Structure 1
Amino acid sequence: MIYYKQASSTQELEQILSLQQKNLAKSLTTDELENEGFLTVEHSMEILQAMNEECGHIIALEDGEVIGYALCMHPKFADSIEVLQPMFVEINKAVAGKSNYMVMGQICVSKSHRGKGIFRNLYLTMKNKLPEGFDTIITEVDEKNQRSLQAHLAIGFKNLKSHMSNGQKWRIILME
């Protein structure tokens, strides 16, 4: 049985990082990049732990193993990961004055568990676990990652804006 909760142990964070490593763009074939989607950002244990302490990451577990995750990234971490800094600049321009949003810093479902509703349930759990006063989830997707973009739009994310950063075209999307 699959269940969803906020990460609460070092072991769960280590499992997130392990699943992340398997799905980074640099770890995948060209065919996998096109058909399975990919991750761009590689987190350190230190930043993953700090983000988790602020707002627990959402994980999907089966038999005690992390099979999916959605990372919660409070806006106070805007300067913590270099590749994400332009995203926060663009978000702040687009939602000027709004501070009650959480950034979904990365979502991943194990290849063996895709197509089973885990992606949707990670976001449902995230919405239910947002800190008091937060009412919006914002994220960005590399426009080359069509699998991820289509999955986000299918569960109710709306386009906020597109921008270029580091030679990549990104789409910033939100769910209220």
Structure 2
Amino acid sequence: MKRLLLLSIVILLSLSSCHTPSYTFSGNSSNNFNAIEGEYLVNYINAPEAVRIEFQDMLLDKLPTNTVLAENAPISIFPTKIPENPDTELIGQIAKSTGEFDYLINVNANVKNDNIGSMQIGNLDPSAKNETFVALEIFDLNNPGTIFYTNVRAFLNDRDDSMDFSFAVDANTMLKKSLKKILKRIDNIN
């Protein structure tokens, strides 16, 4: 029985191929961030619902212990969806609504294309691709401005059209791996 199982695994792997995405940091990304003492607030995470809770958990694990989620804080941030690279005036307006917090963490994530599942069987359309984008910004609310910004674009496509069984990475997994890559650039003070 074990030999049959092993043989079937070997056959499956020989007939399959693996596709891995590429992860690229943008040219204007910060290289690293040394967490500063103070009160941190995580804004409402702008991401697909399938990964939003995992994003929250990943952020709370990495950031200082005094980090609070906006949805658990007795404040309301306006606007809740903060655009990337906001001007100093908008950060100042946000700072007025956050009360005693020193820093605001803003995460934006989206899926541009999600055409390839985690397992595919042949005849994959050459134009099929998965493409995601994750950006994380940290704003100083005491001296309004951005103190850390980085984003990752993940891209996966298969130009080889074959009848093989193949493994790939779905868009939600690409989002989570992108955030992990960003969090590696943050040194925590826990």
TM-score (norm 1): 0.32
Higher relative contact order (CA 8 A, sep 6+): 2
TM-score (norm 2): 0.30
Larger C-alpha radius of gyration, 1 or 2? 2
